[in-house]
Amino acid sequence: MALRLPVYMDNNSTSPCDPRVVDAMLPYFTEKFGNAASRNHAFGWQAEEAVENAREQVAELIGASPKEIIFTSGATESNNLAIKGVASMYRKKGNHIITCVTEHKAVIDPCMRLERDGWKVTWLPVDPLGRIDLQQLRDAFTDQTILVSIMAANNEVGTVQPIAEIGAICKEKGVLFHTDAVQAAGKIPLDVQKMGIDLLSISAHKMYGPKGVGALYVRRKDPRVRLDAAMDGGGHERGMRSGTLAVTGIVGLGAAAEIARKEMPTESVRLKAMRERLRVGISSQLDYVEVNGHPTERLPGNLNLSFGFVEGEGLMMGIKDIAVSSGSACTSASLEPSYVLKALGADDERAHSSIRFGIGRFNTDEEIDFVIQDVVRAVNHLRDMSPLYEMHKAGIDLKTVQWAAH
């Protein structure tokens, strides 16, 4: 099979829609176009049946019951609904939330919004591999704590948190536990019962479904979780999320969840093998390459590498035929190093030299081999132009060099 360029290796940002998902969705654009809330004719019943089927498919992926699944527009909405919904509903009980510094912005920003509105937020640090310390979590609880929100797996460095242990601590303290499982769902096994999870956010487009649709799991018993709605209207989704349901997208999310549940055992083994092939292939040919995140407790398809003496943005420009993302969020005006890598203790140089490879369902070994070859070529080329790499190899400690001003 001929290699098709560019190679897509940014599956942590978004994943292509699985053709089987598209096939499941197609009829709901045209002949099955009913509104799932239209209760008095066949078109509505057909749409409602499709939605309830998808609810079952999503619930099965995470060990929940279908009634506990609320459909949303995606992970950002799910996270906002979980965090702000709990904060508002349980305000009389307490005003303290515990989260972590390496969360996705869709958790950090709602927590910061609550801080501005008078809630107290504890921001737990992480160790150099990206995991929180369970003792620090225990110590953070107060009699005002109402919610703990810790992501299942990190979007940048792929580190998986000890979710079951966190869930057990929250149960022991009688505090609700929310997890942003966007990167984890469909990639690693999740069970809301065994892991003591009360709220869990999912996004379809991270697991080969369509963009613009997601779900929030909300526990119904032991304890029954109640949320203040962010959107008021017709009382759809148990009153937690009003608005006409996006039937086509929901059908796609359901199909994606079912495929992920059935294929996860074999797919995760294959992705991990490709990840290791990529890691070994690159690090056996280049020196000063470091893995960011946990070496073993990580997502099967995530590899985040720092390349010493190379600038991440420059490297990305040097590998134009590969779609990856850089550790530093290069927004138009700022070249700030990634806050996730900084939280792991990486200095600016290491943070700026990192590249995230997101390996997914449709990648091949042939593509992995091309990526190895191209990255090695580009890094060698950039280092050949770098006096710093030469000086370091000559034994000069770059931290002691006094740079003369012109």
CB atoms within 10 A of CB 390: 13
3-state secondary structure of 213: coil
Question: CB neighbours (10 Å) of residue 66?
Answer: 14
Nearest in space to 21 (alpha carbons), one of 257, 265, 183? 257
d(C-alpha 12, C-alpha 153), whole Å? 11
Instruction: Find out whether 322 and 378 touch, Cβ atoms under 8 Å.
Output: no
Q: What is the DSSP letter of 185?
A: T
The answer for residues whose C-beta is within 8 angstroms of residue 403's C-beta and 6 or more apart is none
Please enumerate, as own/partner, the contacts of 2-7 that have beta carbons within 8 Å and a separation of 24 or more.
3/366, 3/367, 3/370, 5/321, 6/320, 6/321, 6/322, 6/323, 7/321, 7/322, 7/323, 7/363, 7/367, 7/370, 7/371
Beta strands 325-326; 289-292: pairing state: unpaired
How big is the CA angle at 207 (ends 201 and 210), to the nearest 5 degrees? 90
Specify whether the CB–CB gap between 351 and 341 falls below 8 A.
Answer: yes
Report the SS3 class of residue 403: coil
> What does the radius of gyration of the chain's CA atoms come to, in whole angstroms?
23
CB atoms within 10 A of CB 103: 24
Catalytic residue check, 17: no
Q: Of 17, 100, 170, 330, which one is the catalytic site residue? A: 330
Contact by Cβ (8 Å): 256, 340: no
Q: Which residues are catalytic?
A: 330
